[in-house]
Amino acid sequence: MNEQGSVEAEVRRYYADAAVAADGGSAACCGPQADQFGAGLYDDLDGLPDAAALASIGCGNPVAVADLHAGEVVLDLGSGGGIDVLLSARRVGPTGIAYGVDFTPEMLDLARRNAAEAGAANVEFLEGRIDAVPLPDASVDVIISNCVVNLAVDKPAVFAEMHRLLREGGRIGISDVVTEDRLSVAERAERGSYVGCIAGALAVSDYRAGLEAAGLADVSIEFTHAVGDGVHAAIVRATKPAT
């Protein structure tokens, strides 16, 4: 198995185990890091199934910063147990739709059960990779994601996919882990694992350059809280320019 396949297999195993834990009533995350990752970063979970919160391993609350409006189409990259899709569905209302895409079957099964329990009719969970989403070009108004882009091996492909999927004038509002530019690849690996959202994190300047190279504009990256020495959770915003 090549390096990309090995990393993806590790990520899939980790999140499959997390889904099983949440489905069994145990939090998938995060012990002593509960103030840095997981459901504790949300303040709007009333009415959601317990398993949706228990499965959360994110580093922020992207729905709170995505400025969603009624009738919009929103896509969550790496939707896990569905927490951000269900929150988005509330905001876009019955005239909008919230999609989630994930490549872990156990997480997809859990997310679909959570959606059924929540009575959410305007959601759909798709099996797929975040660098090859099974949706048409220019079909999405807003892309969100919660601590998932750092897990992708081919990040330029993910950024290109964001550009492909967004309609002109569409936007991204995601939470992710990024590092200060001073850290080398080896130093990132010293601070945490790939599945722990650290080893695969991009330096902030590389993140910005990657989004811009994909054709996205108005890029902003705002640190929210530290998750290690030189490593930060961040809110990342950008838009697809109208031509």
Describe the crossing of helices 3-23 and 105-118 by its angle, rounded to 10 degrees. 40
Instruction: Report whether pLDDT(83) > 90.
Output: yes
Task: Show the domains of the chain with their CATH numbers.
Answer: 3-239 (3.40.50.150)
Q: How many residues does the chain have?
A: 243
Contacts of 209 (CB under 8 A, 6+ apart): none
DSSP 137-182: TT-EEEEEEBS-GGG-S-HHHHHHHHHHHEEEEEEEEEEEEEE-TT
Instruction: Report whether pLDDT(1) > 60.
Output: no
pLDDT grade for 6, boundaries at 50, 70 and 90? confident
Residue 3: per-residue pLDDT: 62
Q: Enumerate the β-bridge partners of residue 76.
A: 100, 144
Kindly report which listed range (7-11, 46-50, 99-103, 169-173) carries the lowest average pLDDT score: 7-11
Mean pLDDT of 47-63: 91
Residue 23: per-residue pLDDT: 87
Three-state DSSP class for residue 189: helix
Q: Beta strands 73-77 and 97-102: pairing type?
A: parallel
